[in-house]
Chains A and B, each alone.
Chain A
Amino acid sequence: MSMELKEQSRSGEDVFIERFEDLIGPNTNGSESEWTLNRRNAIQVFAQNGFPNKKSESYKYTPVTKWLQSQLKNGMHTAAGSSVQSGNLKNEALPTPLLDESEVRGEPSSLENMKGLHVHATNGLIRGSLSEALPTGLIICSFKQALVDHPKLLSEYLTKAVVLERDPFAALASAFAEDGILIFVPAGLEVEKAIVIHHDALFSNSLIQARLLVVAEEGTKVNVIEHFPFLDAGSSFENRVAEVFAGKGARVDHVLVMERNDQTLFVNSLFVHQDANSFFRTNTVTLGGGLVRHNLNFLPDAEECETHLHGLYVAKGTAHVDNHTLVDHAKPNCFSNEIFKGIVTNQAVGVFNGKVLVRQDAQKTNAYQSSKCIVLDRGARTYAKPELEIYADDVKCSHGATTGELDEDALFYLRARGIHPDAAKLMLLEAFAKDIIGLIDFDEVRNYLYQRLHGLLTVTK
């Protein structure tokens, strides 16, 4: 128990900063790679800002630091898969793990069988080889591989969309991630099959800082589906940062399905940069996790961009799910539409914070936002904070947030037809969720989600 006392005397930030120094070593002045300098910069930004505290407005409803500290006290593995394998880890920099270092894999999901280019990842890193040959020019590889084969790509794009100052977790992941997954779609290529990333293995009780970089050049088309399935991997902290560049006229479609266990602290920071006439859409579906925070940041940085943010969450037990979005309209004639829906029950908490910023130059912006949440239990809570900040004078913007119980009249109508109350509730909840899931293009993904939802909501009171 001396360990715990020791931990209490150090702040969470110090633990990470010391750990980073152990990992990277002292600055070798000039001889370091651009990426390493990049990482040093990120840890500096993190050191300056620290973890969110009680006064941090953007984490007001989401006590992520408290969670993290209690997890640190309990111990967790400190690095991504590559470091777990290397023998020179200084584990004393963080408390020793409680469990062994065995890899935990989930049951294969039906998404494995969908038509697509499948990528499997352990602790955020590509495992094994890809399922099939890639179309000419398409690159899917680890950052380390890219450093050798395509060094210019990384230096041109990595951390260029991430705003380190905006969120300490994005800075932390940018500093710590020792590798990542790169998807590069060269100009003009339309990738017919979806790229399906299965984040399907973790080391138990681990701390994972992972990265994803998607570069879709001019005139490309690509679908990226990410699945974080349920894993019985103890209490893990997954902090990942993803960057997406949608080039001129590119169409990038993203789906994220998060189903980790209830001891998982999951922070997902997505930064999207859009060039002229590009289309980006994400559908962020959260069906699991203990504390989940999605930081979704969009910068339509040229004219005629189209941005769609769709999200669905189901929070049960003591889960806490927070969707925090920012659409930064910097240029004129862009369109954004944001729709989030949530179902919270038991003692769970749902948080939605959607900010739309329309800068002075961004005339003729059309920006819409809606957040709807159904609260099934007296113990469950929800917070919604839509924010519109508009500096241009010729724009169309709207927002709406509703929270309520299931519609009594609708329930009565179903029951008046002989349908049992539980079945009636389930029908209405599924119908509610369908609005979001129905927006996903892939039958296999939709059907998988309907089936998962059915299971989740059936046992929900």
Chain B
Amino acid sequence: MHVSIEEDGTEILKGLNLKVGSGEVHAIMGPNGSGKSTLASVLAGKDGYEVTNGTVAFCGDDLLELAADERAREGLFLAFQYPIELPGVSMSNFLKQAVQSVREHQGKEALTSGALLQMMKEKAALVHLDPALKSRSVNEGFSGGEKKRNEIFQLAMLEPKFAILDETDSGLDIDALRIVADGVNHLRSPERSFLLITHYQRLLDYIVPDFVHVLMNGRIVMTGGKELALELEEKGYDWIKDETTQLA
């Protein structure tokens, strides 16, 4: 896949190939500016990027043909690096609209208000969120940690097939990181795959990936198992830079 910024044509992803199988957890690591968040945004369907070349197959669909909301209804989920505050939009209304849209599309029957409430209660408990948050505005006045936990809460509510976590660990203290990781681990299943975008190996101590990829300069330059993350933590990225330049 090749992706450019629409506005000025800068190429960010320069031939990225990745296959995530059902139930797998992949981690993408890489230095700042390597294109990690661009990858997340492009997969989720954010405006402002042009895919100049390539395709993304998602459970038999051409993902790039779908609008952002269609992708979400098909079962793709993005946990935002910077969750957006929506003053005046209550969590309960937001979740109701989201859950019912997704369920309707997937041919599942609509939940009754009671069932929805019950579900919210259960899933909020997964990430230790106060159930009273349902009457609050989405992310407004949430602490950094609450915002990230709220992303995982939404993931749990929407039950996607494929979830991208864009630096969900950034800005979290150890306890919050553990809570988020526990939530994610709980949500792992043979039908659900994850793409974890992270700077730090620490997250991968808690959420153990099946594969670790190194993204540099818009390409995946190295793929390995979970031990690759440890190696990166120890040695940084420079040695990979050297190796890949030698190869090229």
- Interface residues of A, Cβ cutoff 8 Å to B: 408-410, 412-421, 423-424, 427-428, 430-432, 434-435
Contact = CB atoms under 8 A, between A and B. Distances in A.
Given A412-B46, A416-B44, A423 B101 contact: yes
A278 B45 CA distance: 54
B236 to A, nearest CB: 33
B47 A435 contact: no
Contact of A419 (B44, B69, B83): B69
B149 interface: no
B158 A418 contact: yes
Nearest to B90: A431
B97 A421 contact: no
Given A419-B69, A427-B89, A435-B88, A413 B98 contact: no
A420 B94 CA distance: 12
Nearest to B70: A418
Given A418-B102, A418-B105, A420-B69, A412 B47 contact: yes
Q: Which 7 A-B pairs have the closest CB atoms?
A: A431-B88, A418-B72, A417-B98, A415-B69, A413-B84, A418-B102, A415-B68
Contact of A418 (B83, B86, B98): B98
A387 B158 CA distance: 48
A414 B89 CA distance: 10
**Size category, B interface:** 20 to 34
A380 B129 CA distance: 42
B163 to A, nearest CB: 12
Nearest to B102: A418
A409 B84 CA distance: 7
Interface string B68-103: 110011000110100110111100011001100110
Contacts of A417: 72, 94, 97-98, 101-102, 154, 158
A418 B80 CA distance: 14
Interface of B: 44-47, 67-69, 72-73, 77-78, 80, 83-84, 86-89, 93-94, 97-98, 101-102, 105, 137, 154, 158
A407 to B, nearest CB: 8
Given A419-B97, A431-B89, A413 B83 contact: yes
Main SS class of interface, A: helix
14 contacts: A413-B83, A414-B98, A416-B68, A416-B77, A417-B72, A417-B154, A417-B158, A418-B102, A419-B72, A420-B69, A421-B69, A427-B94, A427-B97, A428-B86
A413 B88 contact: no
A420 B87 contact: no
Nearest to B86: A410
Contact of B93 (A416, A420, A427): A427
Given A412-B68, A413-B83, A414-B94, A420 B88 contact: no
B93 to A, nearest CB: 7
Contacts of A414: 69, 86, 89, 94, 97-98
Nearest to B160: A418
Contacts of B101: 417-420, 423
Nearest to B105: A418
Contacts of B97: 414, 417, 419, 423, 427
B99 to A, nearest CB: 8
A427 B91 CA distance: 12
Contacts of B44: 416
B88 A430 contact: yes
Contact of A434 (B88, B94, B105): B88
Nearest to A434: B88
Nearest to A433: B88
A423 B45 CA distance: 18
A396 B84 CA distance: 32
Given A418-B98, A428-B86, A431-B89, A413 B80 contact: yes
Given A408-B47, A412-B68, A413-B80, A418 B73 contact: yes
Contacts of B102: 417-418
A341 to B, nearest CB: 11
Contacts of A412: 46-47, 68, 84
Contact of A416 (B69, B86, B89, B137): B69
Contacts of B69: 414-416, 418-421, 424
A214 B233 CA distance: 74
A412 B73 CA distance: 14
A420 B231 CA distance: 43
A220 to B, nearest CB: 34
A420 B93 CA distance: 14
Nearest to A430: B88
A204 B154 CA distance: 54
Contacts of B72: 415-419
A314 to B, nearest CB: 15
A409 B93 CA distance: 18
A222 B229 CA distance: 69
Nearest to B106: A418
B84 A410 contact: yes
A416 B88 contact: no
B80 to A, nearest CB: 7
Contacts of B84: 409-410, 412-413
A414 B101 CA distance: 11
Contacts of B45: 415-416
A155 B55 CA distance: 81
Contact of B67 (A410, A415, A423, A431): A415
B87 A431 contact: yes
B88 A432 contact: yes
A133 B44 CA distance: 62
A424 B98 CA distance: 10
Contacts of B93: 427
A416 B84 CA distance: 11
Contacts of A421: 67, 69
A413 to B, nearest CB: 4
B133 to A, nearest CB: 16
